Homo-oligomer: A and B are copies of this chain.
Amino acid sequence: MRIRVVNPNTTRAMTDAIEQCAQAVAGRGTLLDAVTAEMGPASIESHYDEALSVPGILAAIRRGEQEGIDGYVIACFGDPGLDSARELARGPVIGIAEAALHTASHLGGGFSIVTTLSRTIGRADELVYRYGMQRFCRGIHACEIPVLALEDPDARKIVTEACGDAVDADGSDAIVLGCAGMADLCSHIRDEIGVPVIDGVAAATLTVQSLITLGLRKSGRGEFAAPSPKQYSGLLRSFGSNS
């Protein structure tokens, strides 16, 4: 079984950290790798960045399909390009927000999300709504640290405090980390604040692995059938059947 984690931004250091978190939970029979998007933004902190990360994700999935990959994780908490990736891949594709929110709903009465910049709260809220998790999500909070600064010495402390504050303010039973770049802080924060902390990278890896084990893949028909071949133009010419 081959699972590929796609880092939708172009920062390789982040891909490496994500890969470690995914490897740590993958089963013995699972071959897992992580790839960095070949085009797009260095980090994703706006709707603009997110939309422009999608071509890189789709290119990675197209390559994966040629290599026989069985399932994919999209490792950005905005779950960019999820629907289009599902059309393209034969096997399951899971976003880390999707996996994290579902996972958190199994653990208690309600959870809080802690994300990076406050301008990303709107997207997190939209995903909560999309996945039907409104009743479980008690609050979404920003720690105002940009994605690529999460590795700074001070960041760990600030994120941990934001998580503790969120649990208190919302009366929550669990924390969902709202950025793939926080994946390696997960066990540290859990130890500090004493409630379950969910990292979507690890959660999504296991969700994909489970779906493959269950033999489940999208229906050949319906909303997520393969897109019809079609001419594409300009910079994106290679995404069409004419390339």
Chain A residues engaging chain B, CB cutoff 8 angstroms: 10, 25, 27-29, 37-43, 45-52, 54-56, 58, 81, 83-84, 86-88, 92, 94, 98, 102-103, 105-109, 118-119, 121-123, 125-126, 129-136, 171-174, 187, 190, 194-196, 198, 202-203, 206-207, 209-211, 213-225, 227-228, 230-237, 239-240
Contact = CB atoms under 8 A, between A and B. Distances in A.
A203 to B, nearest CB: 6
A215 B231 contact: no
A13 B233 CA distance: 15
A39 B55 CA distance: 12
A82 to B, nearest CB: 8
A8 to B, nearest CB: 12
Given A206-B210, A216-B198, A219-B174, A234 B47 contact: no
A234 to B, nearest CB: 3
B107 A216 contact: yes
A168 to B, nearest CB: 11
Contacts of A81: 51
Contacts of A56: 234, 236
A219 B92 contact: no
Contacts of A230: 41-43, 45, 49
Contact of A236 (B40, B135, B207): B40
Given A41-B230, A41-B231, A106-B211, A236 B28 contact: no
Given A98-B106, A198-B216, A207-B210, A233 B132 contact: no
